[in-house]
A and B are shown apart, each in its own frame.
Chain A
């Protein structure tokens, strides 16, 4: 998983200006009175074979991004290209066959499996839907998949309640693999697990990636997990992408003040290690009524006047390093000289 490879890799998934608004209804007639802008113009690219880590606080819209890309939620704007095909323009039948290419692994291992169905059937159901193989072939595939994720073929007959959280998560991964996808959205796949189990599942995901040549969109809120698994990282804040770059650059040279604050909050196992913590004041504003200009400006330690009125563009500032911040734009630099990052 060398990073230099990344530059030569082909773009697999291109997300352009993705928007997802949820209506807020109130009153007797349930009229739409407001919109929660959960995802408000997010753009990024995922290259073939890489792991793109998506981080951000709770409620910043990262899960919504994952589900909107897979068309599990209808988007309100923007486009998503998978291998050059516009997903949002596909018809029902085309989308159904496209689904074989892209799967999802969920956060909650307890609600992600049908409690009344033996796990073998849960895993093989996707193949059944797409008419892949005979009943016997599917049974064999299920046995293979269970072995692949580190479980036993005879587990296929058991029900979800007979398994632990980690095992269920493995079953969820087996289900996602059943359709031989090339792209998997991992929606916080380890955050509901014990730390010891977390690393096992993460290593499983990495192993599967090299075995099957998978591409991941890895959604997480734990930066050390992201550091462990990602090739490139995107940071979201309140429905906006604020920074996208390689794993190295994000941890060594974060440009956006929000990313800097996030990184300074990673706990270090060395008690003598002293570093400057950037403590943000206030809470994340409501996405119902986001701040004007840059959404981060009320909490930003390096806020300037322009930040309060103008929404910074999401631009490439260094090689393979995009950021949305006025600190790095030429016009703003004239107003306030930014200190070197």
Chain B
């Protein structure tokens, strides 16, 4: 038995070494894309900061500083206990620095959730369409094309008006609700709206991943190695999950990193229009929205979430570009 275990670990190790070296090749190519590297560093920094939000700031997310003389108040205001509001306070007297960190947490979580769900779903649907072809492909492709012809923003507005403004309660299982609450650093009752927003964004998010994977699956399923698998008696599920999807995943990864930036912007747009996540849950979008009435007297109010928004969305785009070059199989070495 020990030999069995040894040989298994040996095999595992060897594979790890192999995949690691492939990953290293990709990383080396990625490193050549300077903007992508800078973006990756900045985005990771924001990510880290949002993770450490409760540690980095002494203030509660929604705590109102009653002592502040002006609301909004300028950066550097000091409260009664002698703590500094580095970026001032907003129109209700809440610490802006604290809120922008918590907003990073919410906005990035939404982006990651939306992209994760929609790319996974899209890849699966696309792989099924491309692999089976025929009527299945026809039906799925027409649905995708139909949904792509709909201008998404107006429909997103309608959908979020229906779902986010109503008091519909999603039957979320307790563990999921608790997990999301911890992820967003928000009370469980606020999680509901975030989940609805995520679902609304997923509704349009899966389309491009599905199209990409469909194309890949279409060409892969004509290859002889798929025929060999059929000749060996492999099930369709095995072929799709073990062969088609791993072979077609590279473009999906690129589209996912581009989509991360896109989702953050879309979420902000919806929040800006008052149809995204609602105050008191902070997101960069609704922070922008509430600050617009004060922007001429207190320009830092929109500036702070705005700068984060721009850095992250441009950053994800550059990372996507870098990833595309790094994963391009035609570029050797």
Interface, chain A (partner B; CB < 8 A): 67, 70, 72, 95-97, 99-100, 102-104, 106-108, 111-118, 120, 122, 125-126, 129-130, 134-136, 139, 157-159, 172, 175-176, 179
Contact = CB atoms under 8 A, between A and B. Distances in A.
A14 B225 CA distance: 27
B-side interface mostly: helix
Nearest to B234: A129
Contacts of B232: 99, 103, 125-126, 129-130, 175, 179
Interface in B208-258: 223-225, 227-235, 238, 243, 246-247
Contact of A129 (B3, B14, B223, B238): B238
B8 interface: yes
A252 B105 CA distance: 82
B231 A157 contact: no
B170 interface: no
Contacts of B292: none
Contacts of A116: 243, 246-247
Interface of B: 3-4, 7-8, 11, 14-15, 18, 223-225, 227-235, 238, 243, 246-247
Nearest to A98: B233
B64 to A, nearest CB: 55
B231 A99 contact: yes
Given A129-B238, A157-B14, A114 B225 contact: yes
A111 B224 contact: yes
Given A112-B224, A112-B225, A134-B4, A104 B233 contact: no
Given A72-B227, A112-B225, A114-B225, A136 B4 contact: yes
A111 B243 CA distance: 13
Contacts of A134: 4
Contacts of A112: 223-225, 227-228
Contacts of A176: 228
A104 B8 CA distance: 29
A170 to B, nearest CB: 14
Contact of A106 (B15, B228, B230, B247): B228
Nearest to A179: B232
Contacts of B235: 129
Contact of B4 (A95, A125, A135): A135
A113 B238 CA distance: 16
A70 B231 contact: yes
Contacts of A130: 232-233
B247 A115 contact: yes
29 contacts: A67-B227, A70-B231, A95-B233, A96-B233, A99-B233, A102-B231, A106-B224, A107-B224, A108-B224, A111-B223, A116-B243, A116-B246, A118-B15, A118-B18, A129-B233, A129-B234, A129-B235, A129-B238, A130-B232, A130-B233, A135-B8, A136-B3, A136-B4, A136-B7, A136-B8, A139-B11, A157-B11, A157-B14, A159-B18
